Amino acid sequence: MVIRGGASLVRYQPAFSNDGKRLLVCKSALVTVYSTATSLPVLHLSGHKDAVTTVIVVPTNITGNVSTNHCWTASMDGTVRFWDFSTDAPPIKTIVVGRPIVSMVIPSLLRPPPKEGEKASNMIAYLSLRWLKEGHEPRLEAVEGGKVDWHGRVKVYDLTKSRYLQGSLIKTITPQALSVSPFGSFVGLTWNRKVHVWRVPSTYSVHVRCITLTTLHHTKTCRVVTFDPTERVVAAGDDTGRILCWQSVGERRLDQIVKQKGSPTSVIPKGPKHSASGVRGNDDAESCTTYHWHANAVQSLCFSVDGTYLFSGGSEGTLVIWQPETGKQQYRPRLGGPLVYITQSKDPSVFAISCLDNTIKFINLGTTHVEKCFQGIRTFTPLPDVLKWVSNTRALFEPKDGKLAFPTDHMGLQFYDPVRDTHLAEVQIAPRTYVGADFKKDLSESGPSTFVTHVAFSSDGSIMATIDICLPEEDIGGSATLKFWDRHARRLSYTLSTVVNDPHGADITSMVYHPSQHLLVTCSVDATFKVWVQSSDFKVEDDYETVTGWRCRSVGSYRHKQMLAGAFSPDGSLLAAAAEELVTLWNPYTNGFVTSLASVPSPQKIRHLAFVHKSQFLVAASTEGKPRMTVWHLPTLSVRWSSLLYVEALAVDPRNSVFSVIALTGPPSMVTKDGYEDAANRKAVVAVFNPEDPTPIAAWSIREGRGGTLMFSTSNLLRDQEEVKESDDGRKPESCLAVLTGSREYVLFNPLDKKVQPEVFALPAPQGPEEGASAFSALYGKAATPKIREPKDVDEVVGHDYNGSRLFVTEILEEPYLVYNARVVIVVAVEFQKVNTRPTAPQGSDKTADVSDLA
């Protein structure tokens, strides 16, 4: 059994069904159909192999009484598909376009149906494509000779005959979104400081020259364009927050074409500059009116059904309702995040607002109240560079119910049901009110100043500990707060019991709970770790819950080294703390020092640390300099094996002696960059290891690995509920690995089940999509089944030197993972080291540190 979910609900615009009872949402490679009555997902349309960018519901004026449940979708996999979204059946029709589709509109769907006896016209689509030459990566900068790489094309495609019309409507450096008028007469696009409007012809020739273009100019960069229901007004929003409305666009040119004798495709000579009010230069418009309220860029625009109101939204998190005739406006503030899309429902009084916090809110026009809300996994801003040593919690399982918990930008902790793919509850860790920000500024200027960095649960799930860090402003202030929460006995809610301000006086790097007792350990860059226990001096009880206070029992340090990570052994008898490049072992009950482990060669600061269950191994991973993952054999205090891997996340299976990692497939100097050229370097490999063998048991490629995480669940999430109810056969619980990408898309599966892996993680064909493949083929790759050979010499080294000085390749894996870049080919493999059978003696004196010693 495989469970998948998550992803963004608001990356692309949703669409309402004709009866308004369902909302179709693009979620990664799926289209999820939600019920507007319950806000719950009804079914998924799977078949695309990459992100679905457009969903278009076929209106009733085309289908009549035959069907109202058909839709068209376009995807970055280069296909257009036709569906019946009343069922989760495969697509009715698939058309291979051959280029990634960023946006699609079909004006012919909005035209009135042909009269009786008339021949139906072909289905024509306007496609905004990502246009790259084969084997080339996109570049945003100008190339030699002053030329620019044009990576966007707007093409016209005949869906009936499955062929392009000759020529391109426009070339752009980056692909842009398309907009269509309510009755399919115009298609619009914004690019730089221009708004391009094409008049849709009644009949098409073999070339796009039959389509008339009108260009409207502006002094600022335009972001979005829309049309009013009368198709006489074109509205566009710019970077400065202004909204421009042009009236009667293209009418003057149309009159000239009608009066002119000859071909309608002939070029009309330019006349004198137009002197209409507000119109720039020779733009073909009657007049232009400007409205201004937004402080930052206008990101979304939409007219009401009757054209009386114009709705706009931006980064302020406020819906502005304009009356174009009078210029008056109303406001619906505090929507929780920037507005990216405004979608008109079939009910004229209801709008769907897509917010950047991954929510879709239904707003009633009459009351301006939020009636319903579709909540996905909330976003989380990556930590700034000043917190680079903080290994923050990206997600974890709540042990009592097996629900996922995510820290969010709203300074809260979101609980999510991974099986039903639904939001459950949210706990506000620290107070926060959303204030609109200018996204063109740096994070230090406009981003959040407080982060929920760590979350930990006790083994029974009754207690939760959180850490929130407030960044200093201009080197003044800044603090960290440790909070303990008690869970309510009957519902998923928590009560704050203890607040500790600045528990370390510096950034906290790690926080772990004891596996069986109410004991917590925090590590910090102040070169100490602290052990926290419940205090018997403070205890409050009532009918439903008991609130207990917490205190610091002891403090430990080692040679004034920063404590960067911590982990408990499965039985809780041993505490491992990463003192920079050393692993120190402690008795958590007496705070007594046991020993230290020094990794060789080239020791680096350790960021990840974990004990492997049902074994005698400890895994440590460093992520700076020359990243390395090392497996220690604790009885002999020796290195069993190590590998040159940049480990993004590490997790151990509580039911089997295996562990899993997300390993980035590029060196750190490359993965820290951003932009198109480095998109390939965000890919990673999910590998499952037996601690005794450096060859992974299984491995898959994954997109958006940077910023992702993985974790094992202790609940039986993969067991079919009906099967469990019918018979309790006492089967051994399955391993359940949850892999979460940087875009917060997740999949749950049993990594040790060989029957499931090939079906779920099939790689897409390099030449194009294949029918019947899993929708997650766009996210995960095929399970690796390499032929293994024993190394001839234990000193044989394979792998990639991340400093770029040398590259060793061998045949440990028959097909090593390759990441292709315009200039670089990187090979990720395994590096073996000799087994050191002698214990590693710590240098210097070993001293037990407690509160009195450090005072």
> Which of 367, 337, 338 has its CA nearest to residue 351?
367
pLDDT (average), residues 504-513:
90
pTM above 0.85, yes or no: no
Dihedral angle, C-alpha 387, 391, 394, 397, nearest 10 °? -150
Q: Which residue has the higher pLDDT, 681 or 419?
A: 419
Q: What's the CA gap between 101 and 87, in Å, rounded?
A: 25
Q: What angle do CA 148, 153, 154 make, to 5 degrees?
A: 145
Peptide bond into 601 cis (omega under 30): yes
Q: Tokens 């406020």: give the residue.
A: 318
pLDDT digits (tens, 9 = 90+) for 357-384: 999 999 998 888 999 999 999 988 788 8
Confidence of residue 13 (pLDDT cuts 50, 70, 90): very high
d(CA 579, CA 561): 5
> What is the rounded average pLDDT of the residues 703-717?
86
Q: Please say if the pLDDT value at position 46 is more than 60.
A: yes
End-to-end CA distance of the chain: 55
Closest Cα partner for 470 from 422, 437, 429? 429
Where is 62: in which H helix or E strand?
helix 60-63
Strand order in the sheet with 328-332: 298-303, 310-314, 319-323, 328-332
CB 679 within 8 A of CB 761: no
Element (H, E) at 255: helix 251-259
- Dist. CA 713–CA 210, nearest whole Å: 60
Cβ–Cβ under 8 Å, residues 429 and 413:
yes
> Does residue 175 carry a pLDDT above 80?
yes
Instruction: Kindly indicate the confidence band of residue 256, based on its pLDDT and cuts at 50, 70 and 90.
Output: low
Q: What is the mean pLDDT of the chain?
A: 79
- Average pLDDT for residues 516-530, to the nearest whole number? 94
Q: Residue 73 is encoded by which pair of tokens?
A: 């979708």
Please give the angle made by the CA atoms of 432, 436 and 442, to the nearest 5 degrees: 95
**Which residue from 43, 72, 7 is spatially nearest to 779, judged by alpha carbons?**
7
**Residue type at 221 in one-letter notation:** T
Contacts of 367 (CB under 8 A, 6+ apart): none
Q: What DSSP assignment string belongs to 737-769? A: EEEE-TTSEEEEE-TT-TTTHHHHSPPPPSSS-
Question: For residues 850 and 649, which has the higher predicted lDDT (pLDDT)?
Answer: 649
pLDDT tier at 733, thresholds 50, 70, 90 = low
Amino acid at 586: W
Task: Say which residues have a Cβ less than 8 Å from residue 328's Cβ, sequence separation at least 6.
Answer: 322
CA distance 681 to 661: 17
Q: Which of 70-74, 81-85, 784-788 has the lowest mean pLDDT?
A: 784-788
Mean pLDDT throughout 399-416?
92
CB within 8 Å of 161: residues ≥ 6 apart? 122
What distance in Å separates the CA atoms of residue 666 and residue 484, rounded to the nearest whole number?
A: 39
pLDDT the model gives residue 842: 38
Q: Which is more confident, 601 or 615?
A: 615
Task: Spell 160-181 as b/e; 16+ CB within 10 A means b.
Answer: eeeebbeebbbebbebbbbbbb
Q: Which of 658, 638, 558 is nearest to 597 (CA)?
A: 638
**Sign of dihedral through CA atoms 631, 633, 634, 637?**
negative
Distance of CA 755 to the CA centre of its chain: 28
Half-sphere exposure of 389 (CA within 13 A, CB side): 19
Six token digits for residue 645? 């891997």
Instruction: Name which of 63-67, 205-209, 290-294, 749-753 the model is least confident about.
Output: 63-67
What does the chain come to in residues? 855
Contact call for residues 449 and 473 (beta carbons, < 8 A) = yes
Distance from C-alpha of 773 to C-alpha of 455, rounded to nearest angstrom: 37
